[in-house]
Amino acid sequence: MRYRQLGSTGIKVSEIGFGAWGIGGNNNGAVAYGPVDAAEARLALLSAVDAGVTLFDTADFYGFGHSESVLGETLKPHRSRVVFATKCGMLDAAGNQDFSAQHMHQALESSLRRLQTDYIDLYQLHSPPIDLVTRGGEILATLETMKQAGKIRAYGISVRSPEDGLVAVRDLGFDCLQTNFNLIDQRALDSGLLRLCEFSGASIIARTPLVFGFLTGQYTATDDFAPDDHRRRWTPGQRAQWAAAPKLFEPLIAGEPQTPSQFALRFCLSFPAVSATIPGMLIRQHVAENTAASDMGPLSTATREQVVAIYRQNTFFAKKN
């Protein structure tokens, strides 16, 4: 496992982090990736620690606290070795949010309790409207208060779009942010966000590196999903486009001992601005496959340029009616 600095936070993280949305399951009616084997999820977390994973990314919204609870219960003996990154502000699947100082402080205390720790390494705003963060300064002041109190080591933002990321870095001074970035969603590259972060010293945690599993090559356009699996909410047309995408990159993968998932993760890690990528992992096999991508290193410049060319020659998102 290789490690990178998380912006100017002074925190070093594993290139491959553990995306913990899925292990939150359908607790309290939450929607994630369908039923979860709790025992296997805990074994996956422990195998990740053994593989050198230090970054564990979650949110109080994932399983309405259940993801944090599983992390806290399982990783408490390893607290000194792991980086807990969690998020606040998202209330429900309908998109209701609360970034008031009162709610953020309450949310932080709840996250600390569930994670069974007295500090959180990285506390992130969960997809707020960027104009809300820019107005008044209360949100940033609240985060700074938490940091000064020693309850968080650093703070960041999970942005709705790369354009919001530009504002977060350029105008608000965030030096750590999450954004979508993968083989078939390269808006962070096209918008100049990656370039801005590289030159400013800010860092990106690349989320959705496997596009909800579709870049593994294991799904087809006709696959069905459990009622509590969020992928069922996407249109058949959109799922078909994502399921077909891996075939476009097969010529670049052929000839090397790597899986489609490993190739996809290596692409994300081919950009200096990306400190880590956080594939969702539910079982030990996911952990073994994904963590091995770090040792393979980034893609060559030539291969990376071919990936970008394929992306720009194709459409991967269905048009909205």
Examine residue 60 and state whether it is found in any structural domain, yes or no: yes
Tokens of 51: 């593989």
Examine residue 50 and state whether it is found in any structural domain, yes or no: yes
For the chain, what is the domain count?
Answer: 1
pLDDT of residue 139: 97
As averages over each run of 10 residues, the pLDDT of the chain (321 residues) reads 96 98 86 88 97 98 95 97 97 92 98 98 97 93 97 98 97 96 97 97 97 93 86 90 94 91 98 97 96 97 97 86 48
Examine residue 200 and state whether it is found in any structural domain, yes or no: yes
CA atoms within 13 Å, Cβ hemisphere of 300: 6
Q: Specify the DSSP element, H or E, that contains 206.
A: strand 203-207
Examine residue 161 and state whether it is found in any structural domain, yes or no: yes
Cα pseudo-dihedral 21, 26, 32, 36, rounded to 10:
70
Active site residue 33: no
Examine residue 54 and state whether it is found in any structural domain, yes or no: yes
pLDDT of residue 123: 98
Provide the residue range defining the domain that includes 202: 3-312
Of the candidates 62, 123, 219, 311, the residue annotated as catalytic is 62
Radius of gyration for the chain, computed over Cα atoms and rounded to the nearest angstrom? 19
The domain that contains 117 carries what CATH number?
3.20.20.100
pLDDT of residue 301: 96
Tell me the three state secondary structure of residue 159.
coil
pLDDT of residue 64: 93
Examine residue 244 and state whether it is found in any structural domain, yes or no: yes
Closest Cα partner for 296 from 264, 254, 251? Answer: 264
Tokens of 77: 């003996």
Query: Which residues are CB-neighbours of 15 under 8 A, at least 6 positions away?
Result: 1, 2, 3, 4, 269, 275, 276, 277, 294
Examine residue 208 and state whether it is found in any structural domain, yes or no: yes
Q: How far apart are CA 231 and CA 278, in angstroms?
A: 18
Tokens of 53: 């994973």
pTM over 0.85: yes
Instruction: Give backbone dihedrals phi and psi of 102, rounded to 5 degrees, phi first.
Output: -60, -45
Examine residue 319 and state whether it is found in any structural domain, yes or no: no
Type of residue found at 80: S
| Alpha carbon 227 to its chain's center | 23
pLDDT of residue 320: 60
Q: How far apart are CA 297 and CA 42, in angstroms?
A: 28
Q: How far apart are CA 272 and CA 50, in angstroms?
A: 26
Cα pseudo-dihedral 158, 161, 166, 171, rounded to 10:
-60
